Amino acid sequence: MYLPDMFRQDDRAAAMAVVEDYPFAVVVSRDPALEIAHVPMIAEPGGGALLGHVARVNPMAERILAGTALTAVFTGPHAYVSPTWYASPRMVPTWNFVVVHASGAAEPITERAALAELVEDLADFFERERDDPWIPDYPEAMLDAIVGFRLPLDRLEAKFKLSHNRGAADRAGVIAALGAGSEGERAVAAMMTAGEVARG
């Protein structure tokens, strides 16, 4: 990932917060050829690895079983930025965004008890705010149809491109415009505002 220093987010907690808030990852393998899967993933307790599963018939399952190196891409809030929002003249459009790349060698989880625990952990996470959460009751045949995996965080890169390269007046204009926009735009404005507070 192209990662200029001004957009590099070295705060691991901030990166993992993006993983938690935007857990639907694009998982990429390049060995032996490009393969891409879309996988909901969660951090294991302690945050040293990510957990997920794919269907056994998914081509990515073969890569996981082989312990192939994977990268999971988590896309946080993002929004178009119009140059009309800047105080500075003669600027160009851009895009503000937050993204996290988590890379490591896949560790397959295939034993039934471990798979059942993985499904329970995923359900606990995604059902946590529901009044009537689903309680996993997987038939063994369904467990046989998935391959779970652990992705150790051997490399974690986070890019928060949030107008850090603009002056205070330009950033204020972008925050004001995005803050009056869609839900996604407001999420970008909130992250920019948090960054302004951290700067101050």
How do residues 63-101 score in pLDDT, each as one tens digit? 999 999 999 999 999 999 999 999 999 999 999 999 999
For every residue of 96-123, DSSP letters joined together read EEEEEEEEEE-EEE-SHHHHHHHHHHHH
Please say if the pLDDT value at position 200 is more than 50: no
Mean pLDDT of the chain: 94
- Residue 160, phi then psi, degrees to nearest 5: -115, 90
Evaluate whether 171 touches 193 at the Cβ level (below 8 Å). no
pLDDT of residue 137: 78
Please say if the pLDDT value at position 199 is more than 70: no
How do residues 11-55 score in pLDDT, each as one tens digit? 999 999 999 999 999 999 998 899 999 999 999 999 999 999 999
Average pLDDT over residues 139-161: 93
C-alpha 89: how far from chain center: 35
How wide is the angle at C-alpha 40 spanned by C-alphas 38 and 43, nearest 5°?
130
Give the architecture (CATH level 2) of 5-76+97-164. Answer: Roll (2.30)
Please say if the pLDDT value at position 192 is more than 80: yes
